[in-house]
């Protein structure tokens, strides 16, 4: 199998933000020609699939400025520098929803946008939840809701759920129900 890898000739840093950075790389393509790649570097993130005692999925409603609309997502957040993803999962679940869990199991990791960004997301499933109090970041405004599978599927149709990690959570939920024959 031939390699499609691209050799980096130079990297130009365009922007260094608090969360992401943007660089433009000149690359040599497999056919020997030159090309350019616009790349966003991201620290990575975690997302948590959490079910209430009634078996509903915990979602947060928030305004997403890049999309200019509100959507419902599973709780998630960025990794802080050097932070262990599991600890980040415990922290984000509590901060965003007020729920705590003593155990979280890593289900999968995936790249969110491999065409232009290196963001890797770790998706956990939380064990039994206890309810405390949410304390979101000062620039974070969210509402916590819990939905049934039927409600979640309807929200996908209406594009109220419109991101890949939450779609994954719903798929995971469906598979889980099928294998349990619920
Ligand atoms: Mg968040």
Dist. CA 72 → ligand 1 center (Å):
11
Which tokens is 73 given?
A: 């997502």
Q: How far does residue 127's CA lie from ligand 1's centre (Å)? A: 20
Cβ contact 97:134 at 8 Å: yes
Note if 83 is an active site residue: no
Of 138, 150, 159, 182, catalytic: 138
DSSP states of 54-114 as a string?
Answer: TSPEEEEEEEETTTTEEEEE--EEEPPTT--HHHHHHHHHHHHHSEEES-EEEEEEEES-T
158 DSSP β-pair partners: none
Predicted model pTM: 0.93
Ligand 1 center–CA 115 separation, angstroms: 23
d(CA 65, CA 86): 27
pLDDT tens, per residue, the chain with 182 residues: 789 999 999 999 999 999 999 999 999 999 999 999 999 999 999 999 999 999 999 999 999 999 999 999 999 999 998 999 999 999 999 999 999 999 999 999 999 999 999 999 999 999 999 987 778 788 888 899 999 999 999 999 999 999 999 999 999 999 999 998 65
């Amino acid at each position: 199998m031939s390699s499609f890898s691209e050799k980096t000739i130079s990297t130009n840093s365009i922007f260094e933000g608090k969360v992401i950075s943007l660089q433009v790389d000149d690359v040599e393509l497999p056919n020997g020609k030159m090309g350019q790649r616009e790349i966003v570097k991201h620290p990575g993130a975690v997302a948590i699939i959490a079910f209430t005692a009634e078996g509903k999925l915990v979602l947060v409603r928030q305004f997403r400025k890049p999309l200019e609309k509100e959507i419902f997502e599973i709780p998630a957040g960025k990794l802080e520098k050097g932070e262990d993803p599991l600890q980040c999962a415990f922290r984000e679940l509590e901060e965003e929803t007020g729920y705590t869990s003593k155990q979280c199991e890593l289900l999968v990791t995936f790249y969110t946008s491999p065409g232009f960004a290196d963001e890797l997301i770790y998706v956990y499933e939380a064990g039994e939840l206890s309810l405390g109090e949410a304390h979101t970041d000062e620039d974070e405004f969210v509402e916590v809701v819990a939905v049934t599978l039927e409600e979640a599927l309807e929200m996908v149709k209406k594009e109220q759920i419109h991101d890949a990690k939450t779609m994954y959570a719903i798929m995971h939920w469906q598979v889980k129900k099928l294998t349990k024959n619920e």
